[in-house]
A and B are shown apart, each in its own frame.
Chain A
Amino acid sequence: MNLTLKVWRQPSKSAEGSIQTYEAKDVSPDMSFLEMIDVVNDTLMEQGQEPIAFEHDCREGICGACSMVINGVAHGPNKATTTCQLYMRHFKSGETIYIEPWRAAAFPVLKDLIVDRSAFDRIQQAGGYISINTGCAPDAHTTQVEKDAADAAMSAAECIGCGACVAACKNASAMLFVAAKVSHLGLLPHGQAERKTRVLGMVEQMDDEGFGACTNYGECEAVCPKSISTRYISRLNRDYLTASISSEI
């Protein structure tokens, strides 16, 4: 199959960027989207041109590195799928495909399709952990966890921090990411001790990073490669408001 690619090219963080057109010829329908770009990049390098810079790591849908907005949709047209797990058979030969980086003030473009997602790291550092004394591992059944809570925590813990929620949100809001990170710890007994400081700290950091507010559009859930529900956002709202009005005594 042959495709026309419209790709955002930007040499560096401070440089101006623009959409450039490339022809991808003889693409196999069995290639992943990233492999297709690999092939285009081979051709570009043969021609002495700068290859398209994009982030990738595991290529099996669990690391969250492959951040691309494909035809206006974060991670492309398939539901619950990362870009690396998207195959070219889902496109038609002759199609024009727009490939753009995540767009958010908090995710500045570093080069072409690569954005700086350190804002997510700083949000995590503001409370997205459980402080536990190291030592001998306790028996697995020392602290019992209710099945429903374990399932709900596990669903939230599926978040791979890819940032598609921010890319898809019309407000570039990071609420789904923060909700998932707050919830997967806050739903478990081990996460109760730091529950209030965690949610207050992470939301404050989220706001300081310049992400937008949640309008309950539902775009984030629709593009999330792990289908994390916006119900966690409502849970985050509740958790945050409860923590904010509570006092130490």
Chain B
Amino acid sequence: MAATKRGLAVLFGSTIGAKTVMAVTGLALILFLLTHMGGNLLIYFGPDVFNAYAKSLKSAGGGGLVWVARGGLLAMFATHVAMAFKLQLRNRAARPLGYAYEATVEASWASRYMILTGLLVLAFVVLHLAHYTVGVFNPDYLTWHDAEGRHDAYRMVVTAFSHPLVALSYVVAMVVLALHLVHGFQSLFRSLGNSHEQAREALSKASLGLALALAFGFCLAPVGVLLGWIQPVEVTQPAPGK
């Protein structure tokens, strides 16, 4: 009868522990999204501000801090995804034979399709990193520099989003992200033990607000380029060394 598991064994060995890990990593990723969105919106302040911000991120701590941040993010993301798979496999095994007549009384669409929206967000993140961080689709992106010799992130983003299909695909990805967060944000506090009635109701509403705000904020860059709110800058000086 006596329970044997304590501490880390509980955290990774039990379903409640696994959900705690999902909640903590999910919250960390949401905090990252908020800062990422804030950074993106600097594009509205013009190339100088945007490129200076991009440079400050990459050069912080002598260029080392960006790798620490990337490592931390990767750890959070990978843990979140790995735990999601582990839980999904367990949940599927818990009901090997489903109902002939399937019905849903209460569960939201967003809550039932977390694994689907999660996988789509994962696919988007891979494409997004390939697109801007690695420059897979256009290697020139990483060689562009502005008059100050900084990486011309502004030109890169404006060039990419001036293709309507690219911009549109980012908008679609943000809708999927919003669906993931509208359940994820409120759910994480429940997993972490929030049983307070009013706080749960407030967080449910806040969850919708956060999901919409993040999706809207992220869409402002691609939509802004498409609608001409964000203008391309003429390249007057060649990049150094070219």
Chain A residues at the B interface, C-beta cutoff of 8 Å: 6, 8, 19, 69, 71-73, 98, 100, 103-106, 125-127, 168, 170-173, 197, 200-201, 203-204, 206-207, 210-219, 221-223, 230-241, 244-245, 247
| Residue pair B97, A214 in contact (C-beta under 8 Å) | no
Q: Which residue of B lies closest to A236 (CB)?
A: B16
A152 CB, min distance to chain B CBs, angstroms: 10
| Residue pair A204, B14 in contact (C-beta under 8 Å) | yes
B2 CB, min distance to chain A CBs, angstroms: 6
Task: Find A105's partner among B94, B99, B183, B195 (CB 8 Å cutoff).
Answer: B94
| Residue pair B96, A241 in contact (C-beta under 8 Å) | no
Complex Cα spacing A229 to B44, Å: 47
| Residue pair A238, B193 in contact (C-beta under 8 Å) | yes
Complex Cα spacing A211 to B87, Å: 11
Let me know if B126 is at the binding interface, CB within 8 A: no
Not counting A216-B183, A231-B200, a sample of 4 additional A-B residue pairs whose C-beta atoms are within 8 angstroms of each other reads A98-B100, A216-B111, A217-B111, A222-B106
Known: A216-B111, A235-B195. A168 touches B105 (CB 8 A): yes
Q: Which residues of chain A have C-beta atoms less than 8 A from B98's C-beta? A: 103
Known: A207-B14, A237-B16, A245-B7. A213 touches B105 (CB 8 A): no
Chain B residues at the A interface, C-beta cutoff of 8 Å: 1-7, 10-11, 13-20, 87, 90-91, 93-108, 111-112, 114, 183, 186-187, 190-197, 200
- A-B residue pairs in contact (CB < 8 Å), sample of 14: A69-B101, A73-B103, A100-B99, A126-B3, A127-B1, A204-B14, A210-B94, A215-B114, A216-B186, A219-B104, A231-B196, A236-B16, A240-B16, A244-B17
| Residue pair B100, A213 in contact (C-beta under 8 Å) | no
B179 CB, min distance to chain A CBs, angstroms: 14
Complex Cα spacing A160 to B17, Å: 27
Task: Find B93's partner among A100, A127, A210 (CB 8 Å cutoff).
Answer: A210
| Residue pair A215, B16 in contact (C-beta under 8 Å) | no
Known: A105-B93, A213-B15. A8 touches B107 (CB 8 A): no
| Residue pair A204, B87 in contact (C-beta under 8 Å) | no
